[in-house]
């Protein structure tokens, strides 16, 4: 016997189920009201017939007295039925409104939870990925070629360090360049001299990533500079992690210089936001963003907003929570903001915030 493969059923979201329940509730209430209107109509007919019967019974005198009692009882039953129908209608409307209100709140909560979960997923992936960057820089700062170059930047040692850093870059394509820098802030060697020939000799002494590396106590700590356009790599938006290069590759050794690793930020941040699993119809009213503690947009599904500031009443209170949602006026539109704060991974956290913003009007 040949089996017939059934076509896969379309996935229905929880909020669509809830909207279906609301629709069924409204239709049920409409059916009840329609049925009660018919009862009211029947009762009006019975009431008129009862009144006519009482008139005819009065004309018949003693012979119609028994029929008058029946007509009066019909009037009483009609009135009672009419009142009961009105009570049912009042109760049905109240129950229907309460059910719809509860279902609407539930739908909003389901949507909020789903969007907050998506926001959390995005920032969690970023934290986990960037944790590896903090590990990379601390490990590679102990490489013997890097240590030798920082200790005594002779031409052959610079060339060896550049060759070694280039090999690393061939395997770790998430980086644009790796830099060995002297304690004076001058770049001694880089892993992509062909792509960035002006990097060697550049002064990075005022860069945040360089100064924060020099402030670390030993090689187990690292420096960092948040998202910025770097002249070292043609103005691309990058993150730079850094670590002191120390004597003998020992994390407690004397500082000899700094290793800086230049990470492709947009290749991570923008790509993660683009892959946020929302259907096309939701994307039409929704955007996703990664922002820092000050609301500066570091990544955004709407690329034109990168570098702008996300600001609204109650933002700081929302950002103080691990996750949550608020309805605000943003750019003259009523907007639901669903938020998740970076949870951190192992010993690392960006401290950033992931938000999904949905227009409601």
Q: Residue 25: is its pLDDT beyond 80?
A: no
What are the pLDDT digits (tens) for 258-286?
999 999 999 999 999 999 999 998 999 99
Domain assignment present for residue 149? The answer is yes
The one-character DSSP state at 218 is: S
**What pTM, to 2 d.p., does this model score?**
0.76
Q: Are residues 253 and 178 in the same domain?
A: yes
pLDDT for residue 99: 67
44 and 103 part of one domain: yes
User: Has residue 274 been placed in a domain?
Assistant: no
Q: Please indicate, yes or no, whether residues 258 and 291 belong to a single structural domain of this protein.
A: no
In a domain, residue 251? The reply is yes
Average pLDDT over residues 98-125: 84
The domain that holds 90 is classified in CATH as 1.10.287.950
Final residue of a domain: which of 61, 95, 114? 114
36/74 same-domain check? yes
Is the same domain home to 237 and 324? no
CATH code for the domain in which residue 319 is found: 3.30.450.20
163-178: pLDDT as tens digits = 999 999 999 999 999 9
Q: Is residue 244 part of a domain?
A: yes
Is 8 part of any domain? no
Cα–Cα dist 286/359, whole Å = 6
Domain boundary among 210, 242, 268: 268
Is residue 121, in this structure, part of any structural domain at all?
A: no
Name which of 107-116, 223-232, 334-343 the model is least confident about. Answer: 107-116
Statement to judge: residues 255 and 181 lie in one domain: yes
Whether residue 198 is found in the same domain as residue 233: yes
Looking at the fold, whether 260 and 152 belong to one and the same domain comes out as yes
- For residue 204, give its domain range: 141-268
Domain count, the chain: 3
Do 145 and 263 belong to one domain?
Answer: yes
Same domain flag for 203 and 259: yes
Q: What is the DSSP letter of 141?
A: T
Q: Residue 18, exposed/middle/buried by CB under 10 A (0-12, 13-18, 19+)?
A: buried
Over range 306-335, report the average pLDDT. Answer: 96
| Nearest partner of 359 among 265, 264, 281, 249, judged by Cα | 281
- The packing angle between helices 155-171 and 144-151, to 10°, is 150
In a domain, 343, yes or no: yes
Final residue before a domain boundary, out of 97, 114, 131: 114
219 and 186 belong to one structural domain: yes
Cα dihedral across residues 299, 305, 311, 315: positive or negative: negative
Residue 129 within a domain: no
- pLDDT band at residue 9 under the 50/70/90 scheme: very low
């Amino acid at each position: 016997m040949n089996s017939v493969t059934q076509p896969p059923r379309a996935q229905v979201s929880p909020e669509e189920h809830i909207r279906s329940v609301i629709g069924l509730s409204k239709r049920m209430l409409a059916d009840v009201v329609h049925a009660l209107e018919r009862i009211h109509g029947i009762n009006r007919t019975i009431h008129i017939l009862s009144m006519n019967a009482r008139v005819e019974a009065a004309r018949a005198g003693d012979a119609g007295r028994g029929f008058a009692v029946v007509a009066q009882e019909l009037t009483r039953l009609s009135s009672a039925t009419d009142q009961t129908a009105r009570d049912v209608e009042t109760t049905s409307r109240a129950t229907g409104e309460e059910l719809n209100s509860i279902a609407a709140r539930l739908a909003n909560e389901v949507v909020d939870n789903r969007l907050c979960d998506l926001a959390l997923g995005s920032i969690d992936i970023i934290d986990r990925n960037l944790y590896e960057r903090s590990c990379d820089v601390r490990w590679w700062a102990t490489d013997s070629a890097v240590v030798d170059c920082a200790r005594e930047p002779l031409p052959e040692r610079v060339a060896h360090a550049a060759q070694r850093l280039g090999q690393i870059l061939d395997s770790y394509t998430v980086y644009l360049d790796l830099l060995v820098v002297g304690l004076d802030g001058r770049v001694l060697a880089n892993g992509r001299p062909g792509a960035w020939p002006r990097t060697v000799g550049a002064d990075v002494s005022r860069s945040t990533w360089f100064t924060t590396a020099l402030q670390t106590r030993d090689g187990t700590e690292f420096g960092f500079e948040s998202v910025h356009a770097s002249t070292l790599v043609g103005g691309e938006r990058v993150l730079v992690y850094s670590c002191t290069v120390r004597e003998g590759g020992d994390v407690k050794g004397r500082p000899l210089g700094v290793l800086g690793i230049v990470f492709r930020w947009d290749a991570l941040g923008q790509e993660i936001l683009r892959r946020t699993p929302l259907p096309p119809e939701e994307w039409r009213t929704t955007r996703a963003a990664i922002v820092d503690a000050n609301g500066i947009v570091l990544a955004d599904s709407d690329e034109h907003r990168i570098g702008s500031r996300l600001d609204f009443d109650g933002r700081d209170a929302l950002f103080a929570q691990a996750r949550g949602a608020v309805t605000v006026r943003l750019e003259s539109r009523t907007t639901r903001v669903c938020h998740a704060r970076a949870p951190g991974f192992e010993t690392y956290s960006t401290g950033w915030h992931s938000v999904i913003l949905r227009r409601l009007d």
